[in-house]
Structure 1
Amino acid sequence: MDESNLFLRVLAAYSDAVRVKDVDAFTALYDQDIHVFDMWGTWSLRGLAAWRDMAAGWFSSLGDECVVVTSDDESSAVAGALAIGHAVLTYTEIAPDGTKLRSLSNRVTMALRKTGGSWKIIHEHTSAPIDHQSQQAILHRSDD
């Protein structure tokens, strides 16, 4: 994998796997020892089995709908066998007829490690800013 585009390629593979709800392709991006700080429902998830269970539940909850993931404000750096990247991801739920049902954005940071010639995500952290008054997550950027 071309390391200069490593993070963009990982984000593209992530988006593709989510869009087609392919649990195997999704989890193939992650290391066996993945540690995720996910902002949705669980403080953190450790290990590929836990992450696979999350993905399987998410994808099956969508029924006939799909989710299109787009990214912007991507930035990354590679140093030897480690890479780190961050971006804003927007998740848009699409009905079978192509109608956009809803969307939200969150921030993501991913750390990757090259092991045996393959890059895998070893840590992922998602977040959203919290409104001080309402204590609610802000899931849409002001420029969305």
Structure 2
Amino acid sequence: MPTRREVDEAKIRRQVGKIVEGLGAKDLEGLKQPYAKDVVSFDVEPPLQHVGLEAKLKNWAKAFLFFESMTYEVRDVTLAVGDEVAFGHAFARLSGTLKNGTATSGMWVRVTYGFQKIDGDWLIVHDQVSAPIDMSGKAVVDLEP
């Protein structure tokens, strides 16, 4: 029989899976489910922070404008799960076919997730996406996990 911690970890992994599914289907409604209403996101594009579910969804909607079809891949999800909060990190890549027909393999980024158990559901209350930079301040986008 799985422990409560194992059950919670499986639920959190399913939340990450819902992001993968929602992006693949270009489904903004489906993407609402894993995030808390007051999520704070430190995404790769300005401003320094995006506050609230609508701001997070607006970022994903921007990606939909550029891609005809898209795939979101998440690798090496590592989690630390407590009773009411959890955090994790992973590597992620958005790839696909752009609206102009060009295929792109995208770039790998680092993702950190903060989860909180709210009304029995594990929701993302914070995420941060980043790309490494070289010492000149330029993003290094050709690295792979």
TM-score by length of 1: 0.84
Within the candidate set 89, 92, 95, 1:92 is matched to: 95
* Structure 1 ranges of 4+ moved more than 3 A: none
Kindly indicate whether residue 141 of structure 2 is the aligned counterpart of residue 139 of structure 1. Answer: yes
Q: Deviation of residue 105 (structure 1)? A: 0.9
Q: Give matches, 1:60-139, under 5 Å.
A: 60-62=65-67, 65-94=68-97, 100-133=103-136, 135-139=137-141
- Which amino acid is 1:58 matched to? A
Structure 1 position 48, deviation (Å): 1.2
Q: Using the TM superposition, give the Cα deviation of residue 95 of structure 1 relative to its aligned residue in structure 2, in angstroms.
A: 5.7
Alignment root-mean-square deviation, CA: 2.3
**8 Å contact 1:69–1:89 — kept in the other structure?**
yes
Q: Distance in 2 between matches of 1:50 and 1:122?
A: 13
Query: What is the aligned partner in structure 1 of residue 15 from structure 2?
Result: 10
Equivalence for 2:34? 29
User: What percent identity do the matched residue pairs reach?
Assistant: 26
**TM-score, normalised on structure 2?**
0.84
Structure 1 gap segments, 5+ residues each:
none
Residues matched between the structures, number:
139
Task: Measure, in 2, the Cα distance between the counterparts of 1:77 and 1:12.
Answer: 17
Q: How far does residue 123 in structure 1 lie from its aligned partner after superposition?
A: 0.3
Question: Match of 2:54?
Answer: 49
